[in-house]
Amino acid sequence: MLIGPQNLPDAVGRVRERIAAAAAQCGRSVESVTLLAVSKSQPVEAIEAAARAGLEHFGESYVQEAAPKIEALRSRGLTWHFIGHVQANKTRAIAASFAWVHAVDRQRIADRLAAQRPCHAPPLNVCVQVNVANEAAKGGVAPDALPALLAHVAALPRLRLRGLMCILPEEADPVRQRHWFAQLRGLFERANAGGAQLDTLSMGMSADLEAAVCEGATIVRVGTALFGPRPRTGPA
């Protein structure tokens, strides 16, 4: 179903209701979960309508597509998250334009983001992407290599290590969804037991946000349930 700007308040309300129901089911406060609207491939008008409906956090995957949106909506004071694969030749623009990066999975990328974060900006919030199912087609650090990457990122100036992120294998069964989210939560808890001081679990999308919330997600990345089926992929 296509969702136009005029229908976005209803779509936002439905997603918020899903988050609230999942939070209540597992004894969590709904305020502990941030709804991140995945606005890649969406026009400025749709993002503005979502902002009028009360959303403040927006996720983009393509730097060239995101830049004019960020500029056009600068007066709204939105928080922009880069949620796509981070290419080395895009790190300068990402470091300059975004408040969060969700998919750091290599030391080299972390080093470049730290070096290129403007000195007048606050530290860049960073989540490390973990490949929980060891899928060849997905990015993310292997779980056994995670501690070393976390230590490296935490030591870099101009970055603020916030947490972990994952993208699940395609799973329709909520039990299987929770299995994979629990893997990330376990890594999060072990990292904190070792002194990492993480506070963010970025996991869950339109089809599996309930399972993610019940396994501790603090950010859910939702696109289709808010905006409808995504248009064709934008530019890199």
Q: Is residue 203 part of a domain?
A: yes
The CA R_g of the chain, rounded to the nearest whole Å, is 17
How many structural domains does the chain have?
1
- pLDDT recorded at residue 232: 57
The label of the residue with tokens 């129901």 reads 21
Beta pairing partners, 124: 159
Q: Is residue 86 part of a domain?
A: yes
Ranges of residues in the chain with a pLDDT under 50 are 233-236
What gap in Å lies between CA 64 and CA 18, rounded to an integer? 32
Is residue 227 within 8 Å of residue 49, measured between CB atoms?
Answer: no
Q: What is the CATH number of the domain that holds 48?
A: 3.20.20.10
pLDDT tens, 156-184? 999 999 999 999 998 899 999 999 999 99
Beta pairing partners, 62: none
Is residue 219 within 8 Å of residue 226, measured between CB atoms?
Answer: no
Residues 6+ apart with CB under 8 A from 207: 172, 224
- pLDDT recorded at residue 176: 95
- pLDDT recorded at residue 236: 46
Q: Is residue 12 part of a domain?
A: no
Q: Is residue 24 part of a domain?
A: no
* CA proximity to 57, closest of 81, 83, 33, 32: 81
- pLDDT recorded at residue 234: 47
pTM of the model: 0.94
What gap in Å lies between CA 202 and CA 200, rounded to an integer? 6
Q: Is residue 233 part of a domain?
A: no
Distances (CA, A) of 101 to 10, 56, 94, 125, 165: 29, 16, 8, 6, 10
| 181-219 residues labelled b (16+ CB within 10 A) or e (exposed) | bebbbebbeebeeeebebebbbbbbbebbbbbbbbbbbb
Tokens of 204: 């869950």
What gap in Å lies between CA 133 and CA 152, rounded to an integer? 23
Q: Is residue 199 part of a domain?
A: yes
What gap in Å lies between CA 123 and CA 126, rounded to an integer? 9
- pLDDT recorded at residue 229: 85
* CA proximity to 186, closest of 206, 171, 172, 166: 166
Residues 6+ apart with CB under 8 A from 144: none
Range of the domain at 193: 32-227
